[in-house]
Amino acid sequence: MVKNRFLIKVTKEWYIISNPDLREGDTTAWYTSFWEFCKRYLEDRYGTDYCLSAEQSILFHAGSITIPQQLIVRSPKAPNKIIALLHGTSMYIMKSAIKDEVETETVGQLQILSKEAALIYMSPIMYEQNSIEIRTILASMKDASELLRILLDGSHSVKAGRLVGAFRNIENNRMAEELRKTMEAAGYRIQVVDPFESEKPKLIDLESRSSYVNRINLMWEAMRNDVLDNFPKLNAKLEMKAYLKSIDDIYTTDAFHSLSIESFEVSPRLIERVRSGEWNLASEEDRKHRDAMAARGYWQAFQEVKNSIQKLFANVNAGEIFEYDHGEWYRQLFQPSVAAGLLNVSDLAGYRNSQVYISNSMHTPLNKVAIRDAMPALVHLLKQENEASVRSVLGHFVLVYIHPYMDGNGRMGRFLMNLMLASGGYPWTVIPIERREEYMEALEQASVYGNIIPFAKLLSRLVTRNIEGRPEAKI
């Protein structure tokens, strides 16, 4: 099993299941197994007598389950040992008592600290390095009782001062004053310090019951200026007939590259055959051909996106167009596969109902419950954003970050990108298959490290070449 790569050794006596067809060095099997492996390994060694570090715990509570380079685990039974895992990852098992007053919660069946305990015991540098996650957690807190219990029992006056400053930073003065007054009433002198290095956020919603809404809002706000700094300005007045013709003219090129990025084996001939109407659902060859189904679905969805773009010329808000139309894009994208019996009818229902993973990515998309909060948050941001470049870059990124569908997320993201480009007078832009590795790495940088600049620069270069009449994508 190991020799034929059905099993991969992780560490002594521990293996994960793999697909032998994956190329050497592919990280997909490991990244999709990482948290389940850690759960089973830690349960086997320590039962429930362990918890993840405060830093990892707070990231979990904020909905950030990116694969860490090193997972830090605390247990009174631990040997203070680093365990090397696959693809440069590791686990550090630290000998440390789990204090009685620190409760543990189970997230993903791993033992983690409660969010109150994690906020108090985490390193102060988290406020700077993970400001989005920390602000997300702070905004979700409606009651100070549990924070105060741990602060008072542990005489944590310095940490209390940081938390007061942190709550003031997000303008939750009620929580800040509750902490300050209670600590001072108990005899502690509080020195208030704002632990965040960045400016106060403007898009945080203290009334939202979902931490995912604030997470999406804060990401958008943090990345917005980087997009504006790295994207060409354009003041173009479009003529509808000419613009729609330019979209028709680029269709074959766009379909070839967009489908090829998703590893479909399509040719210009197949794409043109589908476009011209020669494709035949009654044909046994076409009906069973996965690539033909994808090409037909792309053609149908492309027509819906073009219809959406026409609405821009009637001065309809681009975010509203996406809100009302993107479900139809998705249905058309997969309708041929459903009609051919390759997918279930329920696959057209919309947002997914189970977890998905992205090949070779350390980013784990949001869970199925979070999608129902995150997608409306994205729509709201698209409606409110007044810069087309920001709507294009961040709209695409946030959609694939959420990954709301079981399949088709990349194609839907590129459709969204081009609708938003059109809303600012920019030309339809194709991401070439030759740029696939750069494209995927740029999305990884944004998803895992919060760095949107590589993605903004990549799209900027492609858009600029189109504006200059030198499109990079060709077939």
What mean pLDDT do residues 324-343 have?
Answer: 88
Other C-beta atoms closer than 10 Å to the C-beta of 244 total: 17
pLDDT given at position 26: 85
Model confidence pLDDT, tens digit, residues 36-65: 999 999 999 999 899 999 999 999 999 888
Token representation of residue 216: 């999406």
Full DSSP string of 188-211:
----------SPPPSS--TT-S-H
**Of 167-176, 341-350, 414-423, the least confident:** 341-350
CA distance 214 to 374: 9
pLDDT at position 282 is 53
pLDDT of residue 118: 94
- The pLDDT score that the predictor gives to residue 21 is 72
Query: CA 150, 156, 158: angle at the middle one, nearest 5?
Result: 140
Q: Which domains does the chain have, with CATH numbers?
A: 1-114 (no CATH), 123-201 (no CATH), 213-467 (1.10.3290.10)
Is 337 or 371 the better-scoring residue by pLDDT? 371
Distance between alpha carbon 195 and the CA centroid of its chain, in Å? 26
Q: What share of the chain in percent tops pLDDT 70?
A: 95
Confidence check: pLDDT of 125 > 60: yes
Is residue 119 within 8 Å of residue 128, measured between CB atoms?
no
Q: Which residues contact residue 130 at a Cβ distance below 8 angstroms, ignoring those fewer than 6 apart?
A: 58, 59, 62, 64
Q: Which residues contact 11 (CB under 8 A, 6 or more apart)?
A: 83, 84, 85
pLDDT of residue 227: 98
Residues 31, 17 contacting (CB under 8 angstroms):
no
Quickly state the pLDDT bin for 308 (edges 50, 70, 90).
very high
Q: Is the pLDDT of residue 366 over 60?
A: yes
Interhelix angle 388-402/368-384, rounded to 10 degrees, is 180
Residues 31, 37, 39, 44: what is their CA dihedral angle, to the nearest 10 degrees?
-170
Other C-beta atoms lying within 10 Å of the C-beta of residue 345: 10
Q: Tell me how long the chain is.
A: 475
3-state secondary structure of 73: strand
pLDDT of 287 reads 44
Contacts of 348 (CB under 8 A, 6+ apart): 330, 331, 334, 335, 338
pLDDT bracket for residue 199 (50, 70, 90): confident
Above 90 in pLDDT, residue 276? no
∠ CA 405-410-411, nearest 5°, is 95
pLDDT at 18 over 90: no
The torsion angle over the Cα atoms of residues 443, 448, 451 and 455, rounded to 10 degrees, is 0
Q: Which two tokens stand for residue 317?
A: 């808000």
Least confident of 271-275, 302-306, 313-317: 271-275
Tokens encoding 69: 């380079």
Write down the mean pLDDT value for the chain: 91
Measured CA to CA, the distance from residue 111 to residue 185 in angstroms comes to 34
Report which of residues 458 and 234 the model is more confident about.
Answer: 458
Alpha helices in 130-267 (DSSP H): 131-140, 145-153, 157-169, 173-185, 211-229, 240-261
> Do the beta carbons of residue 108 and residue 61 sit within 8 Å?
no
Q: Which of 3, 122, 98 is nearest to 50 (CA)?
A: 98
Q: Which of residues 22 and 124 earns the better pLDDT score? A: 124
**What is the band of 101 on the pLDDT scale with cuts at 50, 70, 90?**
low
Q: Is residue 304 over pLDDT 70?
A: yes
What tokens does 390 get?
Answer: 């920001």
Asked whether 353 and 368 are in contact (CB, 8 A), the reply is yes
Q: Are 456 and 445 in contact (CB under 8 A)?
A: no
Confidence grade of residue 344 (pLDDT, cut at 50, 70, 90): confident
Spatial distance between the Cα atoms of 126 and 206, rounded to a whole number of angstroms? 21
* pTM of the entire predicted model: 0.91
Instruction: Tell me which residue of 404, 214, 429, 243 sits closest to 322, measured CA to CA.
Output: 404
Residue from 457, 466, 413, 380 nearest 226 by CA: 457
pLDDT at 280 over 70: no
- Is the pLDDT score of 472 beyond 50? yes
Residue 270 has pLDDT above 70, yes or no: yes
In this model, does residue 20 exceed pLDDT 80?
A: no
d(CA 240, CA 308): 12
Q: How far apart are CA 198 and CA 181, in angstroms?
A: 26
